Copies of this chain bind each other. A is one copy, B any other.
């Protein structure tokens, strides 16, 4: 048994190196002076070099082999071994030169993408995207985890998921979403969103977000919130979990739902059982599962009637100039207005997943060698029209809008929608098991739901695969119908459909 402990210690060091990397990145995005980038990049490079060397060393291999010969590993130790093997085997399969090439190309591609987006010109980005795709194909061939190249890439983010499985789910979802959307768009009872675009004092927005965090049991003694351009959540240990938000003076939802979203991630990372702190299991079961937590707090709860039963009077008091005369119901409708738009990050709960389905379908085509990048803008625009009934006027509002591909993150997008689907299934399960929960929310009591999440999800970290975990909790596989029913039950009344 000391063998498994040694293995654990090695991967615990690797986990700590990850935490150190996280601090370097957190600081970079939150407090680092503007001209300190070069020095910071060098520190991050060193940590990644040390990490890689430690991971692919003979000692790691020996420890894994020794642990594999143990017959009676408990559930935690065998999960530690499983994750260790997964990480080690991927690392040794990929030549260091490829890693370096990927890192270098990403930096150039990111610059080219930024420039291309500014100039609204995909052609400036295309040669870099070609190179990135070529390298990602090589990478997929090397790690060779899935049935297809794209499957290998998806597995990085969502262990066990395949493009075929996702296709099936997304196809069904796509039809249903378009049907719902059509019904809503035909309604004459449309919410008015304009109230959200008034001026809201930044300091008051910030204070309100802190108040919400406290009430949602975000523990400030082991966490903090700061501001950054793009909100994110990061762990510096299992007892140091930080989120960021952004404040837009003329758009109330940015800070509000940004905070709620990241709070969901943070509560997950703060909920691992002590036994897996500092191990390679101290993380979300998958990106999709992690995203389910952020969506639950941001959308399922944060945009619910019950949530605002409790919070709206306080928000009214804070911003009487805009809200004093606006009813709770009108406010609730305003934060749930639905409208097809070109930009993913601005999308509502209905159309968001259509944006994701578009990206998934395109990635699938790319890695099946069915399209070349020269066709991409056209295919993007065609699919946008088909899914959202809109045509991007330029590349920046279309194919160039997301950063992901410039960094080589193919297979990442689907996890956003998987997150929504997991969230709906979990929320349904939680309400069945605890019918009083929504009533609790109305009274400002969010502990019951958090306890459900902790008991069923958070504590386990990566012990269970996402596919096993959802079955363990709900008794069935991931089923998109929960999400569809949730949307119908919520949005049809809002739109008087």
Interface residues of chain A, those whose CB is within 8 Å of chain B, are 13, 16-17, 19-20, 23-24, 27, 31-36, 38-40, 42-43, 46-47, 50, 220-224, 226, 236-240, 278
Asked if A39 and B238 sit within 8 Å, CB to CB, the answer is yes
Identical copies in the complex: 2
Given contacts A33-B223, A36-B236, 13 further A-B contacts (CB under 8 A): A16-B46, A17-B46, A19-B43, A20-B20, A23-B23, A23-B24, A23-B27, A33-B224, A38-B239, A39-B238, A39-B239, A42-B278, A43-B237
Task: Report whether A220 and B43 are in contact in the complex, using a CB–CB cutoff of 8 Å.
Answer: no
A278–B41 alpha-carbon span in the complex (Å): 13
* A92 CB → nearest B CB, Å: 21
- Min CB gap A431→B, angstroms: 33
CB distance from A126 to the nearest CB of B (A): 34
Question: Which residue of chain B has the shortest Cβ distance to A37 in the bound complex?
Answer: B239
For A34, the chain B residues whose CB sits under 8 A away are: 221
Q: Which of B27, B38, B42, B237 is A42 in contact with, Cβ under 8 Å?
A: B237
Task: Report 24 cross-chain contacts, Cβ distance below 8 Å, ordered by A residue.
Answer: A13-B46, A16-B42, A16-B46, A19-B39, A19-B43, A20-B43, A20-B47, A23-B23, A23-B27, A31-B224, A32-B240, A33-B223, A33-B224, A33-B240, A35-B239, A36-B236, A36-B237, A39-B236, A39-B237, A39-B238, A39-B278, A40-B237, A40-B240, A42-B278
Q: Which of A16, A17, A220 lies at the interface centre, i.e. has the most chain B CB atoms within 10 A of its CB?
A: A16
Q: Please, which residues of chain B bring their CB within 8 A of the CB of A23? A: 23-24, 27, 43
Q: Give the Cβ gap from A397 to chain B, nearest Cβ, in Å.
A: 33
Residues from chain B with a CB closer than 8 A to the CB of A236 are: 27, 36, 39-40, 43
Q: Which chain B residues lie closer than 8 Å to A224 at the CB level?
A: 31, 33
CB nearest to A38 among chain B residues: B239
Contact B16 A43 (CB under 8 A): yes
Q: How far is the CA of A292 from the CA of B226 in the complex (A)?
A: 36
Contacts of A226 in B (CB 8 A): 31
Q: Complex: how many Å from CA A319 to CA B195? A: 42
Bound Cα distance A291, B358 (Å): 61
Instruction: Give chain B residues whose Cβ lies under 8 Å from the Cβ of A40.
Output: 236-237, 240
How near does chain B come to A446, taking the closest CB pair, in angstroms?
21
Chain B residues with CB under 8 Å of A221's CB are: 33-35
**Distance, CA A35 to CA B16, complexed state (A):** 17
